[in-house]
């Protein structure tokens, strides 16, 4: 049924906005990663068109990448909170729920459990996408407890190491010493150890990365979603620089992300044995499907 929810009756098509009809006819829904994944990201304006974020915002790029990586956008619901990120997330053609400050993981707990009541036979992917403030500060208790309870959904933290949307205040994820609004003498405390906290709280798959490699980033996002479906909470901690508050010229955004990859955002992937079994199985299935398709074409 799921794809049908966006499909209008043929005779109404001519009255609908062109964008909507194009979404139905040519959009990424129901397509494979090869057809609609990050490799073909540019083709699918439905993923996110003309985002309203600052020019060169690395967060806007990563959000687009998240949408391009979804295993089943037609079965996915995203949840977010206040912050720059939600401006872009709410413009993508995947359902988005905007809650209160930092409560995305609590809302996702209710949503995921309710989906399992109503659709026990289906995977309805639930993903929270929020900034470092929403995930680790305001929403800290709700984030941690969703992990401790073993809720089966994916948490993605867009870590720009600052409250970008409210004008650049320090967050728990800002690095020690950073001079920011509300940290006029430099931040006193350390950057919070997010992935370590996630593992201690029971996340079965965690990744920290600076998303400089599109394919690699897409792969870990998908892994996180597949594992959450079956095993338990998963967490993706991504560096998504705020070029405004950290004064990174637009043309240097990628170089900065590369630089961070060597320091605070060194690639780190953790998985439990159970999570690994799911990843191995799903990726083997995907490979087999690819091979079969190739054979068909030949």
Binding site for ligand SF4 (CB under 6 A): 53-54, 57, 59, 84, 160, 164-165, 242-245
Name every residue whose Cβ is closer than 8 Å to that of residue 156 and which is 6 or more positions away in sequence. Answer: 66, 127, 128, 129, 130, 221, 224, 235, 236, 238
Residue found by looking up tokens 């990201």 in the block: 41
Measure the CA–CA gap between 177 and 186, rounded to whole angstroms: 4
The smaller minimum CB distance to ligand SF4, of residues 71 and 139, is found at: 139
The reply on whether position 32 binds another protein by CB under 8 A is no
User: Which of ligand SF4, another protein, none is residue 53 near (CB under 5 to 8 Å by kind)?
Assistant: ligand SF4
Contact between 98 and another protein per CB under 8 A = yes
List Cα–Cα distances, 206 to 17, 108, 238, 247, in angstroms.
40, 18, 11, 29
141 binds another protein (CB under 8 A): yes
Binding site partner of 97, from ligand SF4, another protein, none, Cβ cut-off 5-8 A by kind: another protein
Contact 158, 85 (CB under 8 A): yes
Decide: 41 and 68 in contact? Cβ < 8 Å.
Answer: yes
Which option in ligand SF4, another protein, none does residue 6 bind, with CB closer than 5 to 8 A by kind?
another protein
253 is in the binding site of which of another protein, ligand SF4, none (Cβ under 5 to 8 A by kind)?
none
Q: Would you tell me which residues interact with another protein (CB under 8 A)?
A: 1-2, 4-8, 74-77, 79, 82, 86, 90, 93-101, 103, 106-119, 124, 141-142, 144-145, 149
């Amino acid at each position: 049924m799921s794809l049908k929810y966006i499909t209008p009756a043929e005779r109404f098509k001519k009255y609908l906005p062109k964008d909507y009809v194009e979404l139905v006819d040519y959009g990424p829904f129901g397509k494979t990663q090869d057809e609609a994944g990050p490799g073909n990201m540019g083709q699918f304006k439905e993923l996110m068109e003309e985002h309203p974020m600052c020019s060169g915002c690395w967060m806007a790029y990563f959000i687009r990448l998240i949408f391009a990586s979804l295993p089943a956008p037609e079965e996915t619901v995203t949840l977010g909170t206040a912050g720059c990120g939600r401006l872009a997330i709410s413009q993508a053609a995947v359902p988005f729920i905007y809650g209160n400050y930092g409560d995305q993981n609590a809302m996702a707990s209710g949503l995921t459990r309710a989906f399992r009541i109503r659709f026990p036979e289906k995977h309805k992917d639930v993903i929270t996408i929020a900034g470092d403030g929403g995930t680790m500060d305001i929403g800290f208790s709700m984030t941690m407890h969703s992990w401790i309870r073993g809720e089966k959904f994916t948490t993605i933290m867009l870590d720009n190491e600052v409250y970008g949307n409210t004008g650049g205040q320090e967050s728990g994820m800002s690095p020690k010493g950073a001079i920011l609004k509300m940290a006029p003498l430099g931040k006193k405390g350390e950057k919070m150890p997010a992935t370590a906290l996630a593992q201690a709280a029971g996340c079965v798959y965690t990744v920290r990365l600076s998303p400089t490699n599109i394919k690699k980033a897409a792969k870990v996002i998908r892994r996180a979603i597949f594992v959450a479906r079956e095993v338990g909470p998963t967490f993706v901690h991504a560096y998504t620089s705020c070029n405004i508050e950290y004064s990174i010229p637009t043309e240097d955004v990628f170089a900065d992300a590369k630089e961070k990859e060597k320091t605070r955002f060194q690639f780190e992937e953790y998985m439990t044995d159970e999570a690994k079994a799911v990843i191995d199985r799903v990726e083997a299935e995907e490979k087999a499907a690819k091979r079969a398709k190739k054979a068909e074409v030949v």
